[in-house]
Amino acid sequence: MNNSNPSVNLKKEILIRIVNAFFSEDFQKNIRLIPYDMRPKGSEVPYRCCIYKERAILKDRIIAGLGFSIEEDDERTLLSEFVDEAIKREKPEENILTVLDAACKGCSGGRITVTDLCNGCVARPCETTCRFNAVSIVNGHCIIDSERCRRCKKCISVCPYSAIVQIKVPCEDACPTGAIAKNELGLAKIDFSKCISCGKCVSKCPFAAVHEKSQLIDIMKHIKSGREVVAMIAPSIAGQMNSNIYQIKTALIQGGFTDVFEVASGADITIRKEAKEFEERMERNEPFMTTSCCAGYNELVKKHIPELKEYVSNTKTPIYYTAELVKARYPNAITVFISPCAAKRAEIKENSNINYLMNYEELEAYLKGRNINVAGCKETLFEKESSKQGRNFGAAGGVAEAVKKALTDESKVNPCYINGIDKDSIKKLKRYGKEKRCDNGNLIEVMCCEGGCLGGNATLLPLEKSAKILAEFIKSSKDIEKNEE
């Protein structure tokens, strides 16, 4: 969950400038000038050692904004050459994330250390608790021998002054699958064989060194060419822009999109199909079924918890069914999923009905770059209103509650929730798969991000605020009809 901070705002500013440059009379020239316009000669250098490093990092951010991997840049390629390649590109690059080496701090971490809060107390619980003789008191101050320390964290838990801490590497600590670690140069590197595209490293890096590779250029060139381009907005967008989904639809049409579909309409299809699937599984006396609209969870099962695969719902995700609806109406259209996170980039690569993804940060930048004020837009209604449950699909608890609501007999389901994937929840899910049982339920909702899609890495508002906005919005929507017997 990025929301707003200087590093996020920096990325957004660059995306806005890319949009402005694209629709200007000289795209190549204006892209090339972005680092110099943002850091002109004699200006303050807010983040780095000198203006030249700032400009170099800004260039890298632009390259990611144009949709390319920084890892493959030889530093000699001009931004104008990247522009040419982006315009010629027929489909996005394979890996969805890239690490900006120049921006990466190479954070040192993992070790246990003692702060100045240590009072050298007489009780010395840190020393007496340590089983590895790694802790000693020298001149009235706790000292930890890093070679003996096994990072069991017992000393941290028993210190009465909270004087002992573990220094963390934010991206590595956030990654639930160990997919990001340091390379031989001490800089972050992503192992895509382990990566589940959850985007946690993107939102947690305080230097914004981990980037999604944007598909904005690909989308804008189709809009500019006059092709039919249809946007599909995720349910969680209702809690993001301090404006309702009908105004967002109007803004997107003003921005050049042919039409806009609610992915909540696809969620309604998912709900009914998944409710039916759950009933059939229970009739076969299966111990449980997992439900999730999260592509990150599906990648997690595929790469790290294969023992859980047989319990994963076979029903397709809301975006899958929404894309089918779009193609039925606009068979030749370019389709764009507007998403709260990076994970869906992995899913749409496998769906020929979906061409591109624009995340919420990119959406905000695109509309600002086109000088469209969403809050000032009139409302444009959808042909068919989605259900309350479909529109609540992006909130934690929303998926399981939706399936329950669609069942012919709600008493059949006992839902339980994994609200955010981390190392502990992965252990729990592994155990469910191995033991072929769930501790306290038969329908397990799994959300990769805490809070559900409202907590995705590219969301715009804090979770608590967006959840309130969404809850207020869905009050006027109707409940989904139950499955027929």
Q: State pLDDT tens for residues 334-355.
A: 999 999 999 999 899 999 999 9
Q: Does a structural domain hold residue 484?
A: no
Given a cut of 90, is residue 21 above it in pLDDT? yes
Q: Does a structural domain hold residue 295?
A: yes
Q: Which residues are within 8 A (CB) of 313 and not within 5 positions of it... i.e. 6 or more apart?
A: 274, 277, 278, 289, 290, 291, 292
Same domain, 307 and 394: yes
Q: Does a structural domain hold residue 485?
A: no
Given a cut of 80, is residue 483 above it in pLDDT? no
Same domain, 194 and 309: no
3-class state of residue 123 by DSSP: coil
Residue 100 near residue 70, CB atoms below 8 Å: yes
Given a cut of 90, is residue 6 above it in pLDDT? no
Same domain, 29 and 70: yes
How do the residues of the chain divide into helix, strand and coil, expressed in percent and rounded to 5?
45, 15, 45
The helix or strand, by DSSP H or E, that contains position 406, with its residue range, turns out to be: helix 398-406
Same domain, 11 and 46: yes
CA distance 370 to 336: 17
Q: What is the pLDDT confidence band of residue 3, given thresholds at 50, 70 and 90?
A: low
**Percentage of the chain exceeding pLDDT 90:** 86
Task: Report which DSSP code applies to 379.
Answer: P
Q: Which residues are within 8 A (CB) of 368 and not within 5 positions of it... i.e. 6 or more apart?
A: 16, 19
Given a cut of 70, is residue 128 above it in pLDDT? yes
Same domain, 259 and 122: no
How many domains would you assign to the chain?
3
Q: Does a structural domain hold residue 314?
A: yes
Q: Give the end of a domain, one of 132, 147, 167.
A: 167
CA distances from 32 to 147, 208, 210, 261, 326 (A): 49, 21, 22, 36, 37
Same domain, 407 and 421: yes
Same domain, 203 and 226: no
Q: What is the CATH number of the domain that holds 141?
A: 3.30.70.20
The amino acid that residue 325 corresponds to is L
Q: Does a structural domain hold residue 479?
A: no
Given a cut of 70, is residue 1 above it in pLDDT? no
Same domain, 46 and 185: yes
Same domain, 442 and 325: yes
Q: Does a structural domain hold residue 252?
A: yes
- Tokens 């496998």, located at residue: 350
CA distance 362 to 339: 10
pLDDT single digits (tens) 140-191: 999 999 899 998 999 999 999 999 999 889 999 999 999 999 999 899 999 9
- Tokens 């399936």, located at residue: 403
Given a cut of 90, is residue 293 above it in pLDDT? no
Q: The whole model's pTM is what?
A: 0.91
Domain that holds residue 144: 112-167
Please report the pLDDT score of residue 7 as a whole number. Answer: 85
Please report the pLDDT score of residue 485 as a whole number. Answer: 42
Same domain, 134 and 205: no
Crossing angle between the packed helical segments 295-304 and 423-435, to the nearest 10 degrees: 60
Same domain, 288 and 149: no
pLDDT single digits (tens) 78-95: 999 999 999 999 989 888
Same domain, 198 and 155: no
